[in-house]
Amino acid sequence: MKLYLDTSALVKLYVEEDGSFTIREAVAGAETVATSAIAYVEARAAFARRRRERRLSRSEHDHTIRELEADWEHYVALEVTSGLIRRAAELAEAHALRAYDAIHLASAKLLRERVREPILFAAWDSNLLTAAKREGLNLVRVG
pLDDT digits (tens, 9 = 90+) for 85-120: 999 999 999 999 999 999 999 999 999 999 999 999
CA distance 81 to 41: 16
Percent of the chain past pLDDT 90, that is, above it, reads 98
**pTM passes above 0.85:** yes
Q: In the chain, how many domains are there?
A: 1
For residue 47, tell me if it sits in a domain.
no
Please check whether residue 110 lies inside any domain of the structure.
yes
Gyration radius (Cα) of the chain, Å: 15
Domain that holds residue 128: 2-40+75-139
Edge-to-edge, what's the strand order for the sheet holding 76-78? Answer: 76-78, 32-36, 2-5, 119-122, 138-139
The CATH number covering residue 109 comes to 3.40.50.1010
Closest CA to 136 of 104, 112, 102, 114: 112
Q: 135 lies in a domain?
A: yes
Give 55-92 pLDDT, tens digit per residue.
999 999 999 999 999 999 999 999 999 999 999 999 99
The answer to whether position 56 is within a domain reads no
Greater confidence (24 vs 142) lies with 24
pLDDT band with cut points at 50, 70 and 90 for residue 143: low
